[in-house]
Chains A and B, each alone.
Chain A
């Protein structure tokens, strides 16, 4: 069993987009590969696209990001994939082959579109959201829920660990980050 967050943070009830991006940059990410996701479109994707200090690559379909990210890693260029959970589901074979079988440091930030705030993903009424963590567990992929500002401290060590151990990690965005 990989590390599911077994509770939702409650001390804060919002998620700051700028603080998430700050943590991503502090983890050494230089490139962000994106397919738009409604959950993160305003709070993360728009400011990332405007950030001159990040290389932003718009990608047609989510599985492409897995190959691009793996290749970038050979140069030491750390990348983050920003997609929706539907795109994660659509990319499972790419993730299985490249990230898991080939042990590549693929870091995915995945919006859980429609997840109810304060509710565990596995307790969501949305079938697609509910099945994400069990699928990641079966695949042996480490994952964390980023629901509020209290969870942002998870991001940097999670990305660092992925690159240090050459293994994938999924950061599940549990509510729309606030655009500032």
Chain B
């Protein structure tokens, strides 16, 4: 298992300051604490749509790498996105799933398929170009650099557990301010 905050800290060191990172729910709270940036796009309100937002950004800016930090519960609510994305085949999309086996933002109840579903297996079957599953921080550190350089769409399952708990300010997450800051940051892309 990888501590989610350790994984995110390592990842943000390897990406550009102006790179769009799309995240949902608990991972989003971790992200904004670890990487406060107007280039973070927070998807909330309609669970599952994080991946669809990311596909939209990938299509909008095909020359910019889009990092998607999806949740396992979120992905289960929008599994069709795997086929939609694989068919659209954006070369610039890296779809991470932070798999903790629970609906962490909704009380920590287990997801269906907690011990049996393979998200990378589903992505591979859907047609993603590259699929990986990483379950310890050493493997993550060893492989993430080269994975980030590959032509996508790429799918990476991160077997994780919560690390440090960061503030969870839902009002800020849902605010127009956070979306306005993002819009301002990307307006000249």
Contacts and interface: CB of A to CB of B under 8 A. Distances in A.
A72 B55 CA distance: 9
Contacts of A61: 78, 80
Q: Is the interface of B mostly helix, strand, loop or mixed?
A: helix
Interface string B49-76: 1111111110111000000000000000
B81 interface: yes
B88 A57 contact: yes
Contact of B186 (A55, A75, A94, A96): A75
Interface of A: 31, 55, 57-61, 63-72, 74-75, 77, 93-94, 96-98, 101-103
Nearest to B80: A60
B183 interface: yes
B67 to A, nearest CB: 14
Contact of B56 (A58, A71, A102): A71
B50 to A, nearest CB: 8
Interface stretch (B5-13, B29-37, B40-48): B40-48
A101 B43 CA distance: 12
B189 interface: yes
A161 to B, nearest CB: 19
Which A-B residue pairs are the 10 nearest by beta carbons?
Answer: A71-B56, A67-B52, A60-B80, A97-B45, A75-B60, A67-B49, A97-B46, A68-B56, A64-B52, A67-B53
B189 to A, nearest CB: 7
A60 B59 contact: no
B183 A74 contact: yes
B80 A71 contact: no
B84 to A, nearest CB: 5
B48 A63 contact: yes
B176 interface: yes
Given A70-B56, A71-B60, A102-B179, A64 B186 contact: no
